[in-house]
A = this chain, B = another copy of it.
Amino acid sequence: MAEMSIDDVAARAGVHRSTVSRAFSRPEAVNPTTRQRILEVAESLGYQVSPLAQALRRKTSNLVPLIVPDITNPFYGELAKTMATAAAEKGYQLVLCVTGGEVAQTNAYLTALQGMYAPFGIVAPSTSVDLDELRSVALGSRVVVVDRVDKAQVPTVTVDSAEGIALAVDHLRGLGHRRIAYVSGISGTYTSRDRLAAYEGLAAKLEIPAMILDAGAGSEAGERAAELFVNTAYEERPTAVIAANDMVAFALISSLGARGVSIPDEVSVMGFDGLELGSRSNPRLTTVRQPIADMGAIAIDLAEQLLNDGEAQHVVLAPDLLIRASTAEVPR
C-alpha cells in the first residue's frame, strides 16, 4: 500500500486536486455525486490526507503539546490520560513532553512544537517555570497552565487549595484530632506552596497549632518527616498529618511504617490529589480529590477560548473528600 497523494485520488476520480481537497475540508462546497465518487476512490486507494502538508499550508496543526515535569509521577500520568482523551475528542493529537523540571526543556519543547504549528499548548509547570518568561517564547502566549496558581496573564485551571485543606482539616477534626501537622512536598511547587499557605491560614483561624514538617522533595520529604515524628515526644506528636500531595503521603506512610508506626492507629495520614493509586495503597489513602478528568477537558476548552476570544480565563475547581482507610479517630 504505497502512499497515495491527493493527485492520485484526483486522477482516479477524474477531477482536479482542488476538488478532492474540498471534498474533505469543505464537503458542502462540492456536488454530492462528485463528492461521493471522490470519497469512494479515496477509500479504495487507502488515501489519507497528509497532516504534514496540511499543516504546512494551513499554518496550523492538530498537535497539542502537554508539558509535564515527570511522567513517572502518577498525578501527571492521570492528567495526561484525561488530557489525551479530551484532546482526541476535539480532533487533537496530544504530544507528551517530559521536561525533568527544566525550564530550558520546557522552552525547547514549546518552540519545537511551535515549529510544528501546534495551535496551543498545555503546561503543568514544575517549580522553576516562570510564567512570564513562558510568555516570551514562541507559543508561550498560547498556553494554558494546569495545576498552578493564576496571577499571570495565562489561562489557568486549578483546584481550590484552601477549600481542599479545609475539607481535610474538617474531616480530621471531626475525628477528634487537634494536633494536625502538615508535610510539604517539593517546597518550590506552586500548588504545595499554596496548600501550605492554606494550612497555615486555617490553623491560625481555628487557633490550632500549625506544625509544619517541611522537607525536601519526593520521598525525602516523607523520610524526614517520619524521622522527626518518631523523635518527638509522644505527647507532642501530631495525631494526624496532611501531606501536600498523595505521593508525599505514600512516602510518609512508608517511612512511618518502616519505623514501626502504624497507620491510622497511631497517626492518621491524609493526602491531596486523589490518585487512583490511593485505592491500592496500604492502608488505602484518605485524601482530597482533585477532579483531574475535569481539569483535562477544561484546559482544552480554555485553550480554544483563548484562540477565539483572546481571553485568558482562570477556572478554579472544587475538590472533594475521598475517605478511605488512612484516617481514624484520634487514639486516646
> Footprint of B on A, CB under 8 Å?
1, 48-53, 55-56, 61, 70-74, 76-78, 80-81, 84, 93-96, 98, 111-112, 115-117, 138, 219, 222, 247, 250-251, 253-254, 256-258, 263, 276-277, 279-284, 325
Contacts and interface: CB of A to CB of B under 8 A. Distances in A.
B55 A52 contact: yes
A49 B55 CA distance: 15
29 contacts: A1-B138, A48-B111, A50-B115, A51-B115, A52-B52, A52-B55, A52-B61, A52-B115, A52-B117, A71-B71, A71-B77, A71-B84, A72-B74, A72-B78, A72-B81, A73-B77, A80-B96, A96-B96, A219-B280, A250-B281, A251-B280, A253-B282, A254-B279, A254-B282, A256-B282, A257-B283, A263-B282, A277-B277, A282-B282
Contacts of A253: 282
Given A77-B77, A251-B280, A254-B284, 10 more contacts: A50-B56, A80-B96, A250-B277, A254-B280, A254-B282, A254-B283, A256-B282, A257-B283, A258-B284, A281-B281
A81 B55 CA distance: 28
A60 B256 CA distance: 53
Contacts of A78: 72
B98 A80 contact: yes
A39 to B, nearest CB: 18
Contacts of A116: 51-52
Contacts of A56: 50, 52-53, 56
A206 B101 CA distance: 49
Nearest to A50: B115
A321 B250 CA distance: 23
Contacts of A73: 77
Contact of A282 (B76, B81, B84, B281): B281
B74 A98 contact: no
B71 A93 contact: no
A250 B72 contact: no
Interface centre among A53, A71, A95 (most CB of B within 10 A): A71
Contacts of A53: 56
A141 B258 CA distance: 49
Nearest to A98: B84
A77 to B, nearest CB: 5
A96 B93 contact: no
Given A51-B112, A80-B98, A325-B258, A279 B219 contact: yes
A115 B98 CA distance: 24
Contact of A281 (B76, B95, B254, B263): B254
Interface centre among A116, A256, A325 (most CB of B within 10 A): A116
Contacts of A74: 72, 74, 77, 277
Nearest to A252: B280
Contact of A96 (B95, B250, B282): B95
